[in-house]
Structure 1
Amino acid sequence: MNILHAESSAPSGPFDGPAAVDGRAARWQSHREERRHDLIKSARRAVHALGSDASMEDIAAAAGTSKSVFYRYFGDKAGLQQAVGDVVLSQMQRRIREAAQGAQTPREGLLAMVSAYLQMAETSPNVYTFVTRYPPGDPDIGQGSMATAGALGHFFDSIADMIARPMRAHLGQGTGKETIIGYWPTAAIGLVRNAGEQWLGSPESPTKPDHETMARQITDWLCVGIAPELDTSGRP
């Protein structure tokens, strides 16, 4: 028998060939994803405890590992913020969607969404701040990085679409109404976010409203304006 032929036709061992390589690669990829997920959870807990300005070194120490490990998985602090932001904002989006599902009217839906947004932000202001902005000149952030731009942009685009749909159905179709619906969600998101973040950053005091009161106030601003009694135009 030709030895070369015999060797080439012999059955492969359990660890030989492309299938074995693919299996090892799949297991390694699974390990990396699991490790990355654990680091994101650790970073989130660290920021919650230490504050939104926590450095990569502080976060790594709290996670029981080295800063180089975080750099290996996320590139820089902006990359870590993006990763944590993807998780946090996805959870907020899901909670807001669930809150709006049981609403009977567009106004009730708005109130439910605003309330869910404020409540989740209030649960951990440090984490919310960490994933929505970063201080300029942070040495842990690489040149030209845009922290959480993708996650944050996608989050608010999705929320704008969510609040537009019931209002579009409520107002119906007609001349000029498409333009109103086109601009209003963006303006609404700006109001909700800016008012909510100012409320979130305000120190605790007897006069500071709780999240439910603030949610109702923001919803009133969105639906009827700040002082409808001042409207003397005579329009309904």
Structure 2
Amino acid sequence: MNTAVDSVESADGRNTRWEQHRLQRRADLIRGARRAVHDLGPQASMDEIAAHAGTSKSVFYRYFGDKNGLQVAVGQRAIEFMERELMSAAETSDNPLDGLYSMVSVYLRLAESSPHVYAFSTRLPAGPDGQPAAMADFFDRIASVIDVHFREYLHQQQRSPSPASATWYWPRAAIGMVRSAGETWLASPPNERPAADRLARKITAWLTIGLTGSYAKVPDPS
């Protein structure tokens, strides 16, 4: 019997089980922190988050370093979930315009479902370039998806802008409008804002036909 080999395999097994336990514990802490932020708000302290999660602040520090580290972990998990839902909305739509509306609608509904977690997740610590890496990567991927659908729409319309055309900035401009309008909407009192579906349709119209047709023509008093 090779005791040396058995000893190494036993140690590897223990290390694997410990790593699995550590990853599971980390995932549980992220879920607990998310629930705490959902209930208490994005300004919740580490003490408040730990108490709400039923553990100690030192445990959170052990796994995440500090509140910034915890915020990044919660933010990345929330962004990954939002990205999956947005991609699904785009992939299951019948045409580019329906896909755009579906993505805007999903974005608004997810943000509205937990505005505290949305605020906590999107206001991540900035990187060297001033933009949180997780958010920058997220918007890059979403812009790429929108760009594909946008090119499909242009093809359907038999339009072929030149490589130097300003038209190609539309996907990024669309993201900026959706995020800005959505966050302003989210900050408004619930009784003073339109339903998510109505705003999604309005934003889609703004992005595709502008203000034309958004309002009835004002009658000429003369």
Q: Same fold (TM over 0.5)?
A: yes
Structure 2 runs not aligned, ≥5 long: 215-222
Distance 1:43 1:145, change over 3 A: farther
Alpha carbons 1:171, 1:177 under 8 Å: kept: no
Q: Which has the larger displacement, 118-127 or 218-227? A: 218-227
1:117-156 to 2 correspondences below 5 Å: 117-133=107-123, 149-156=132-139
Alpha carbons 1:92, 1:120 under 8 Å: kept: yes
Alignment match of 1:81 (pick from 47, 66, 71):
71
1:99-147 CA distance string (max 9 Å, x none):
222322211110000000000110000000001116xxxxxx8x98999
Between Structure 1 and Structure 2, whose CA radius of gyration is higher? 1
Q: CA deviation at 1:180?
A: 4.0
Alpha carbons 2:41, 2:116 under 8 Å: kept: yes
1:226 aligns with 2:217: no
Aligned length: 211
Structure 1 runs not aligned, ≥5 long: 1-9, 135-140, 230-236
Q: CA deviation at 1:160?
A: 1.0
Moved beyond 6 Å, runs of 4+: 143-148
Normalised to the residue count of structure 2, the TM-score between the two structures is 0.86
Distance 1:225 1:146, change over 3 A: same
1:78-227 to 2 correspondences below 5 Å: 78-133=68-123, 149-172=132-155, 174-176=160-162, 179-180=165-166, 182-205=168-191, 207-227=192-212
1:20-44 CA distance string (max 9 Å, x none):
2221111111111000000000000
User: What CA distance in whole angstroms lies between the structure 1 residues aligned with 2:23 and 2:52?
Assistant: 20
Identity rate, percent: 48
User: What CA distance in whole angstroms lies between the structure 2 residues aligned with 1:213 and 1:144?
Assistant: 35
User: What CA distance in whole angstroms lies between the structure 2 residues aligned with 1:144 and 1:169?
Assistant: 34
Amino acid at match of 2:208: C
Amino acid at match of 2:201: R
Aligned-CA RMSD value: 2.6
Q: CA deviation at 1:198?
A: 0.4
Aligned residue number for residue 219 of structure 2: none
1:12 aligns with 2:14: no
User: What CA distance in whole angstroms lies between the structure 1 residues aligned with 2:127 and 2:91?
Assistant: 40
Q: Which has the larger displacement, 67-76 or 174-183? A: 174-183
SS in 2 for 1:209: coil
Alignment match of 1:37 (pick from 8, 20, 27):
27
Q: CA deviation at 1:226?
A: 2.9
Alpha carbons 2:174, 2:207 under 8 Å: kept: yes
Amino acid at match of 1:215: A
Aligned residue number for residue 50 of structure 1: 40
Amino acid at match of 1:189: I
Alpha carbons 2:150, 2:171 under 8 Å: kept: no
User: What CA distance in whole angstroms lies between the structure 2 residues aligned with 1:46 and 1:97?
Assistant: 28
Amino acid at match of 2:67: K
